[in-house]
Amino acid sequence: MFKPITIKDIAQALDLSPSTVSRALSDSYEINEETKKRVLEYAEQHNYRRNPVALSLRQGRSYSIGVIVCEVANSFFSQAINGIESVAYGKGYHVIISQSHDSYEREVVNVQHLANRSVDGLLISMSAETKDFSHLINLHGEGLPIVFFDRVIDVFDTHKVTSDNREGARKATQSLIDKGLKKIAHLANAPHLSITRERLEGYEDALKANGISLDESLIRYCHHGGRIRQEVEDAVQYFLKLEHVPDAIFVASDRLSMGCLSAYNKLAPHEQHPAVAGFSNSEVLDLIQPGFLCVRQPAFEMGRVAMEMLIQLIESKYPVYDFENVVLDTELID
């Protein structure tokens, strides 16, 4: 039966006291460098790992981080999680991932579950259906460190990490205009999301810069973020029934881009398909529609930066009052 090596085992082997070994493993200034080196080398050779339960009891921390995203299968969020984990495990934290599936009810249940598991902090990208933020406001008021990424809210002061949604949307819409397309529709996410507002502004910027009047009838919102397939098909059906059918569509998210292309394949012959540009970190959309203009977000970097900010909040010995709103550049893949 496997029995992990303990601090007492190391102490006995090196003829040191357990407290000396413990302080050496913690890189204490009280222990000389030669002793630290002996302890660390022995610990590494014998695969010593700190007991997380004992450590959490002693320090009052669980060394676990809660992460809530809408969908792990979404390419953007899976890449962001890779960035989160690249920092977390190196700092000794474990990551617990929950999916809201863009449902407010699921988000609330997930937040409560993670809080009940005594996570040290929470990283969250808001669900498309969430308009009531009391579940987060209450936890923040109780002292739980929370950092938002991608889909952010401003109900309390904390760190936020996003991409330059407005400029990414402007570039995508401009790329369609540069191809000679003028009647450009916009398939948007839930109207209250931060990314929806910013990407709509970028779409409007490009139209205005090229002397194209904004036509509100060409903008359709998906209040469930595409979670319900029918809402995307209804939007595509609406575009197809317009008197003047759009010759291009700017789509606001990964899931909506996939849903939009699938809906056109289902509902219309190929010659009626518009050109499509949209936010997506997926590698497969171009296979469904060659020439798909893609706005790529730095998902890995976003996750990495958000995780570093959260650990800073968790490990700070003093209250933090200065918060950052980090905005990362996007890339247009043409």
Residue 223 lies in a domain: yes
Res. 311: pLDDT tops 60: yes
Cβ-count burial 177-215 (b if 16+ within 10 Å, e if not): beeebeebbbbbbbeebbbbebbbebbbbbbeeeebeee
Reply yes or no on whether the pLDDT at 187 is more than 50.
yes
> Do 171 and 110 share a domain, yes or no?
no
Clarify whether residues 84 and 22 are in a common domain: no
**Tokens standing for 1?**
């039966």
CA distances from 105 to 129, 130, 156 (A): 9, 8, 21
Report, as an integer, the average pLDDT of 37-63: 71
**What CATH code is carried by the domain that includes residue 285?**
3.40.50.2300
- Using a 10 angstrom Cβ sphere, with 0-12 exposed, 13-18 middle and 19 or more buried, the burial of residue 124 is buried
Measure the CA angle with vertex 16, ends 14 and 19; round to 5°: 130
Question: Looking up tokens 């109207």, which residue turns up?
Answer: 191
**Gyration radius (Cα) of the chain, Å:** 25
Token pair recorded at residue 297: 């977000």
Q: Which two tokens stand for residue 200?
A: 């709509």
Q: Are residues 314 and 285 in the same domain?
A: no
Structural contact between residues 281 and 297, judged by C-beta atoms closer than 8 angstroms: yes
| Residue 215 in domain | yes
Q: Are residues 114 and 200 in the same domain?
A: no
pLDDT band (50, 70, 90) for residue 54: low
Residue 334 lies in a domain: no
**Other CB atoms within 10 Å distance of the CB of residue 79:** 20
Does residue 2 form part of some domain?
no
Task: Looking at the structure, tell me whether residues 229 and 268 fall in a common domain.
Answer: yes
Torsion over CA of 80, 85, 88 and 90, rounded to 10 degrees?
-130
Q: What pLDDT band is residue 57 in, cutting at 50, 70 and 90?
A: very low
Work out the average pLDDT over 307-334: 93
Phi and psi, residue 253, nearest 5°: -155, 165
Calpha distance 89→95 (Å, rounded): 8
Looking at per-residue pLDDT, the higher value among 288 and 136 belongs to: 136
Mean pLDDT, the chain, whole residue set:
89
User: Are 175 and 261 found together in one domain?
Assistant: yes
Are residue 264 and residue 292 in the same domain, yes or no? yes
Same domain, 158 and 304: yes
Give yes or no for residue 258 having a pLDDT over 70: yes
Q: Is the pLDDT of residue 55 over 90?
A: no
Residue 319: the pLDDT is 87
Report d(CA 299, CA 149) in Å as an integer.
Answer: 10
Q: Report, in this order, helix, strand and coil percent for the chain, each rounded to 5.
A: 50, 15, 35
Does some domain include residue 139? yes
Does 1 fall in a domain? Answer: no
**One domain, residues 158 and 254:** no
Specify the higher pLDDT residue, 151 or 225: 151
Kindly state whether residues 169 and 242 are assigned to the same domain. Answer: yes
Looking at the DSSP assignment, which residues form a beta bridge with residue 185? 249
Distance CA 17, CA 123 (A): 40
Share of the chain above pLDDT 90, in %: 60
Minimum mean pLDDT range among 20-34, 105-119, 224-238: 20-34
Phi-psi region of 101 (alpha: psi -120 to 50; beta: other; left: phi over 0): left
291: left (phi over 0), alpha (psi -120 to 50) or beta: left
Pair 305, 192 in one domain = no
More confident residue, 157 or 46: 157
Do 140 and 243 lie in one domain? The reply is: no
State the pLDDT at residue 273.
87
* Cα separation, 178 vs 67, whole angstroms: 40
Q: Which domain holds residue 97?
A: 59-162+299-327
Instruction: Specify the number of domains making up the chain.
Output: 3
Report the DSSP pairing between strands 94-99 and 64-69: parallel
Q: Among 41, 36, 48, which residue's Cα sits nearest to residue 3?
A: 48
- Return the percentage of the chain with pLDDT > 70, whole number: 93
Query: 293, 267, 280, 311: which is closest to 84 by C-alpha?
Result: 311
